[in-house]
Chain A
C-alpha cells in the first residue's frame, strides 16, 4: 500500500475522512485510526485533461472521481479506454506522478 491512500477513520463516529484531517468533519472528534482506501465502486465523473501539471510527458491525462461502494469518494487516474458515467470500476495502486527523484504512488481505476 502507498502512504497516499490511507484515510482517517474517526474513533468516535466512524466517519472516514479522506483526505485525513486533524478534526473529524462529521463530529469534531480529534482521534482517528488509519484505514486503507480502495475497492470497487462506480465512476462519478471523469475528464481528459490536456492542460497538464508539470511532471507529465503524456499528451493528456484521464482523471476521475469514483464513488466507492463503502460511500467514500476518491480522486485518481482512470485507466479505461471506454469510460462511461456510472460504470463499475475498481482501484489499483500505481505510479501517478514522477517528479524525478521518488515516484509517487496513488490510486488508479480500472474496469471492475
Chain B
C-alpha cells in the first residue's frame, strides 16, 4: 500500500446555518485546499460524506455537485453514505484511491444540513438506521439505544451519572476553546447534576441519559486534502501520515450481540488500525471519540484499548482525559460540544487531529502530540471506522 498524507484540513463552524448544503461543503473544501496550498497540482478525486441529504435536503449525487461548485472537473467524484460513520468511510475511500495509485490528490468533504427539519423529523431520519423489523417499529431512536446501553453498562461497571457529567463538563470546556464548535459554553456539576435547578436545566432524554449527555443536532462541513508521497514531497508545511485505518461491523439489532455492553466493532476496528500502523494504544498522544452520548466516550475508550474494561470512568475521575491530562480525549469538544452534523463528524474528527499533530489547535492544543487516534461510530456500533494518524 502506498503511503497517504493529510496536507490540508478545514471546516465550517458547526451549529445552525443559513448556508445551503453546497455552500457548507464548498466553504470547508476551500479552507482545506487553501491550507494544503497545492498550487498548480490538480485534484484527481472528490469524495463527499453525507447521510441525509436525499431525505432532508432533497439533493443527491453530492460528489458531482461539489466538483461543479469548486470547478474541479474532470476529477473523479462520488458520495459515501455509511450512517454516522460516513465521514471516516469517505476518508477511507479517499485513502484507498491514493494507496492503490489511482489518484495523487483527493479532497474528502463531509457535510450535513439537518437543522432544516424539525427535531422530530431529524430524530426520525437518524432512527431510520436502526433495524426496521425488530427495533424501529417499537419507536427506537438513537437516544433510546444509548439509554438502554448506558443503563446496562453503568449497572455492570459502577459508572454513575456524575461520571457522565464529568465528560460533558470536560468536553464543554474544550469546546469553549474551539471557535468551530457548535456550543462554546462551559457547564458545571452544580448546573447539570447537583443543584436543585439541574432537574430543569438537564431534563431526561433517554433515562439514564439527560440533555447534557447528548450531542446537539448541527449543520456543518469538514474537509481534508489527501496526497500521495510523490505530491507530499513537493509541498511545504508539516505532513500528517495516515498510519492505519480499521473498519468492522456487528449485528444490526443491538439485542443480538453476545454481550450488549461490548462494543465489538470498535475493538476490532481499533485493533486493525493499530496493527496497520505498527503502533499500540499506549503510543497515542491525543484522541477524538464519537461521544454522540457521554456513555460512548467511556465505552469506546475502553474498547479501543486505552483503558481496561470498567476502568475508563476511574481515569476520568483522575482527570487523565482532560486537555492537560495523560491522554486528552476530545480536545475539540467532541460531538457533545463541537456538534454532530452526522456525515461531517468523521471528517471533523480527522481535521481536529491533523491540526493537533501540526501544532495548529490554538488554545486547545494538546502538548507534544505526535500520534493520534479517532473512532467514528456508525449505527449503534454496527459499523465503526478507526483511524491512526502520525506526524512525520
**Is chain B a partner of chain A in the same complex?**
yes
Residues of A within 8 A of B (CB): 4, 18-20, 25, 44-56, 60-61, 63-65, 73-77, 85, 96-97, 104, 106-107
Question: Once bound together, how far apart are the Cα atoms of A60 and B203, in whole Å?
Answer: 12
B-side contacts of A106, CB under 8 Å: 137-138
The reply to whether A44 and B260 contact each other, CB–CB distance below 8 Å, is: yes
| A20 to B, closest residue via Cβ | B133
The digit string for B71-90, where 1 denotes a CB below 8 A from any CB of A, is 00000000000000000000
Q: Does B149 contact A (CB under 8 A)?
A: yes
B-side contacts of A18, CB under 8 Å: 134, 253, 256
**Chain B contact residues (Cβ within 8 angstroms of A): what range?**
35 or more
Option from B137, B141, B207 in Cβ contact (under 8 Å) with A96:
B137
The reply to whether B152 and A44 contact each other, CB–CB distance below 8 Å, is: yes
The reply to whether B260 and A45 contact each other, CB–CB distance below 8 Å, is: yes
Minimum distance in angstroms from B354 CB to a CB of chain A: 33
The reply to whether A53 and B127 contact each other, CB–CB distance below 8 Å, is: yes
The reply to whether B255 and A49 contact each other, CB–CB distance below 8 Å, is: no
Minimum distance in angstroms from A7 CB to a CB of chain B: 9
The reply to whether A53 and B139 contact each other, CB–CB distance below 8 Å, is: yes
Q: Does B96 contact A (CB under 8 A)?
A: no
Q: Does B16 contact A (CB under 8 A)?
A: no
Extra 8 A-B pairs, beta carbons < 8 Å, given A45-B149, A45-B155, A49-B141: A4-B134, A4-B137, A45-B148, A47-B207, A53-B140, A53-B141, A63-B147, A85-B151
Option from A48, A52, A65 in Cβ contact (under 8 Å) with B207:
A48
**6 cross-chain CB contacts under 8 A:** A47-B150, A50-B203, A51-B205, A53-B141, A63-B138, A96-B138
The reply to whether A51 and B148 contact each other, CB–CB distance below 8 Å, is: no
With A44-B152, A45-B152, A51-B205 as contacts: A65 and B255 at CB distance below 8 Å:
yes
Minimum distance in angstroms from B41 CB to a CB of chain A: 46
B-side contacts of A96, CB under 8 Å: 137-139
The reply to whether B206 and A48 contact each other, CB–CB distance below 8 Å, is: yes
A-side contacts of B205, CB under 8 Å: 49-51
The reply to whether B148 and A63 contact each other, CB–CB distance below 8 Å, is: yes
| A2 to B, closest residue via Cβ | B137
The reply to whether B144 and A49 contact each other, CB–CB distance below 8 Å, is: yes
With A75-B138, A76-B138 as contacts: A51 and B256 at CB distance below 8 Å:
no
With A47-B206, A48-B207, A61-B144 as contacts: A104 and B253 at CB distance below 8 Å:
no
Task: Name which of A25, A45, A56, A96 has the most chain B CB atoms within 10 A of its CB.
Answer: A45
Q: Which of B205-236 contact A (CB under 8 A)?
A: 205-209, 214
Question: Once bound together, how far apart are the Cα atoms of A107 and B255, in whole Å?
Answer: 14
B-side contacts of A73, CB under 8 Å: 255-256, 260
> Ordered nearest first, which 9 A-B pairs have the shortest CB separation?
A47-B147, A49-B144, A73-B255, A45-B152, A51-B143, A49-B206, A48-B207, A45-B148, A19-B134
| A58 to B, closest residue via Cβ | B139
The reply to whether B151 and A46 contact each other, CB–CB distance below 8 Å, is: yes
Q: Does B95 contact A (CB under 8 A)?
A: no
Question: Once bound together, how far apart are the Cα atoms of A63 and B127, in whole Å?
Answer: 14
A-side contacts of B148, CB under 8 Å: 45-47, 63-65
Q: Which of B112-165 contact A (CB under 8 A)?
A: 119-121, 123-124, 127, 131, 133-141, 143-144, 147-152, 155
Q: Which of B295-349 contact A (CB under 8 A)?
A: none
A-side contacts of B252, CB under 8 Å: 19
B-side contacts of A63, CB under 8 Å: 138-140, 144, 147-148
B-side contacts of A76, CB under 8 Å: 138
The reply to whether A19 and B253 contact each other, CB–CB distance below 8 Å, is: yes
Minimum distance in angstroms from B114 CB to a CB of chain A: 14
The reply to whether B206 and A53 contact each other, CB–CB distance below 8 Å, is: no
The reply to whether A51 and B144 contact each other, CB–CB distance below 8 Å, is: yes
Question: Once bound together, how far apart are the Cα atoms of A25 and B133, in whole Å?
Answer: 17
Minimum distance in angstroms from A81 CB to a CB of chain B: 14
Question: Once bound together, how far apart are the Cα atoms of A46 and B142, in whole Å?
Answer: 14
B-side contacts of A107, CB under 8 Å: 138
Minimum distance in angstroms from B130 CB to a CB of chain A: 9
| A86 to B, closest residue via Cβ | B155
Option from A25, A45, A75 in Cβ contact (under 8 Å) with B151:
A45
Question: Once bound together, how far apart are the Cα atoms of A62 and B137, in whole Å?
Answer: 14
The reply to whether A51 and B137 contact each other, CB–CB distance below 8 Å, is: no
The reply to whether B253 and A52 contact each other, CB–CB distance below 8 Å, is: no
The digit string for B244-267, where 1 denotes a CB below 8 A from any CB of A, is 000000011111100010000000
Minimum distance in angstroms from B141 CB to a CB of chain A: 5
A-side contacts of B140, CB under 8 Å: 53, 63, 75
With A51-B205, A63-B144 as contacts: A97 and B138 at CB distance below 8 Å:
yes
